[in-house]
Structure 1
Amino acid sequence: MIEWISSKLNLKANFSFKSEHKECIRDIVQHEMVGMMKNFIQHGETNCLEHSFYVSYISYLVCKNIGLDYRSAARGGLLHDFFLYDWHEEKPYRGLHGLIHPNIALQNANKYFDLNDREKDIILKHMWPLTIRLPKYKETFVVLMADKYCAFMETISLSRCKYVYELRKEF
C-alpha cells in the first residue's frame, strides 16, 4: 500500500526525505518521555512509538509532496498518541479511550514541548469523525487519514515500512 501511495504521489523515500524528516522530529524523539511510548502496545504487535513514527513519516511525505506544512505534520503525527498508558488494560481516565486520548496526548505534549497551532490541532482532532471537533487545518486531515491507514496496516500485520524500523533503532 505504501508503494501504491508513493507511486500515486510520485514519492521516493529517498535519503534526503528521511534526513529531513529526522530533523523535523529530532528534539521530540530525544525526549525521555516520548521514549516511554515504546512500552505500550498500540495495534497488533506494534508499539505506540513505532505507530507514531509511521504516522509521522507518512504524513510528512504527503504534506511535503502537496505543499503543506510538513514539519508540523511530522511533529503532530509523532505526538498524536502521546497518552502514555496501555489503553488495552488500564483506564486511568473516565470515558472511552478513542474519545479521551487526544486530550490526554495534547496535555502531555504541551507539558514537554512548545507546539504551534497546527501541531495542537493535529493532536486534538486526529480521531475525527469519532470526536466531533472538526479539523481546522489541511495537515490535520492528512495526519488523521495517515493514522487510520497505519492503524489498519498494523492491525492486519502488513506494516512493513523499513524506515520506521530504522528510526526505532536510532532513537
Structure 2
Amino acid sequence: MVNADNNLYNEFLEIVEDLIYTPEFRKLDECSHHYGVSRMQHCINVAYYSFVVCKKLKLDYVAAARAGLLHDLFYYDWQGSGLGVAKHAFLHSSIALENAEQLTELSPLERDIIKNHMWLCGKMWPRHRESYIVSVADKVCAVWEAGYGVKRKVACVMAE
C-alpha cells in the first residue's frame, strides 16, 4: 500500500494535499471498499500509482493523481445498496463525478478520468491515455487489495 516510504510520495502529496485533508475525502475512510481496505486507502493507492505511471510516461500526472484520488468519491455501501454489482459499476462513476465537482474545480481531463474509469461497464470510452491508466490502476489495486484482505483474514483464522 501507499505510504510515506514510497519514492515520489512527497511530490504526490503536494499535488493532492488540498483534497486529501478535506472532510469529504476523509469520510471515505469510514467506507469499506475491497475486503477490509477503506475506500479512502483504495483511492490513495489508485491515485499514487496513476501518478507514478503518468509521470514516467510524461503524461499529465497531476490530473491523474487528482482524478485518481476522486474516482470513487461516493459514500453508500455498494455491497448492501441493493443495486447489484453491475448497476453499481455503471452508476458510481457519475455519482463520484458529481461529488468531485462539488469539492473542487475539475479540468476536462479530470472529468474524463473520473467519469470513464469504469468504461468497460458503460457506454463512454475514455478519451485520454491518463484515463486508461487510472482505470487500469483501479483494477490492479482492487485485485491487490482483495488479496491483502484475504491474507489478513487467513492470518486471523490461523492465529486463533
Q: Give the structure-1-normalised TM-score.
A: 0.80
- C-alpha distance 96-134 of structure 1, shift in aligned 2 (>3 A): same
Alignment counterpart, residue 74 of structure 2, candidates 69, 83, 90: 83
Alpha-carbon shift at residue 90 of structure 1 (Å): 2.6
Partner of 1:115: 106
Indicate the larger mover: 150-159 or 115-124: 150-159
SS in 1 for 2:33: strand
Alpha-carbon shift at residue 91 of structure 1 (Å): 4.7
Partner deviation per Cα, 1:41-60 (whole Å, 9 max, x = no partner): 11111010000000000000
Q: Distance in 1 between matches of 2:64 and 2:23?
A: 21
Report which of the two has the higher share of helix: 2
Corresponding residue pairs, total = 145
SS in 2 for 1:135: coil
Partner of 1:129: 120
Structure 1 residues without counterparts, runs of 5 or longer: 3-12, 160-171
Structure 2 residues without counterparts, runs of 5 or longer: 151-160
SS in 2 for 1:156: helix
Higher alpha-carbon Rg: 2
- Superposed structure 1 runs of 4+ greater than 3 Å apart: none
The amino acid of 2:72's aligned partner reads D
SS in 2 for 1:114: coil
Q: Distance in 1 between matches of 2:49 and 2:29?
A: 19
Alpha-carbon shift at residue 112 of structure 1 (Å): 1.3
| Contact 2:37–2:149 (8 Å) recurs in 1 | no
Q: Give the structure-2-normalised TM-score.
A: 0.85
The amino acid of 2:51's aligned partner reads Y
Alpha-carbon shift at residue 132 of structure 1 (Å): 2.1
Alpha-carbon shift at residue 157 of structure 1 (Å): 1.5
Q: Distance in 1 between matches of 2:134 and 2:103?
A: 21
